[in-house]
Structure 1
Amino acid sequence: MTTAQIALPKKLIPLFDGDADVRASWGGRGSGKTRSFAKMIAVRGYMFGMSGVTGILLCARQFMNSLSDSSLEECKRAIEDEAWLAAYYEIGDNYIKSRDGRIAFVFAGLDRNIASIKSKGRILVCWVDEAEPVTEEAWTTLIPTLREEGEGWNAELWVTWNPKRKSAPVERRFRASNDPRYKGVELNWRDNPKFPAKLERDRQRDKEERPEQYDHIWEGGYVTALEGAYYAKHLQKAKEEGRIGFFPADPLMTIRLIADIGGTGAKADNFVFWAMQFIGREIRVVNHHEAQGQPIDYHLAWCRQQGYEPSRAQIWLPHDGETQDTVYDVSYESALRKAGYKVTVVPNQGKGAAMARIERTRIVFPQIRFNEVTTEAGRLALGWYHEKRDLDRGIGLGPDHDWSSHSSDAFGLGCLVWEEPKVMKPLEYGKLPIV
Structure 2
Amino acid sequence: MITVNLPAWAQWLDVPLAPDRLPVRHRVLLGGRGGGKSWTIAHKLVERAIRNPERILCTREYQNSIRDSSKRLIEDVIDRMQLGARGSGFFTVTDKEIRGQNGSRFVFMGLNGKDSAIKSLEGFTLVWVEEAAAVAQASIEALVPTIRRERSEIWWSYNPRYRHDPVDMMFRGGTIQPPGSIVQIVKWSDNPWFPIVLHREMEFDRQRDPEKHMHVWEGQYVERSEARVFHRWKVHAFDEPDDALHRFGADWGFAKDPTVLVRCFIGRWAGEPYNSDIIADQKGDHLFVDDEAYKVGCAIDETPALFAGFDHLRPARWQNGFLHPGITGAASYQITADSARPETIDFMRKRGFNISPAIKGPGSVEDGIAFLKSFDIVVHPRCRHLIDELVLYSWASDRHTGEILNKLSDKNNHVIDALRYALEGARKASRPDFQGYSTGRSIMFDIPGYLPSRWSEVHPDLRAHRSVIGDLFR
Instruction: State the TM-score, normalized to the length of structure 2.
Output: 0.45
TM-score (norm 1): 0.49
* Bigger helix fraction: 1
Q: Larger Cα Rg: Structure 1 or Structure 2?
A: 1
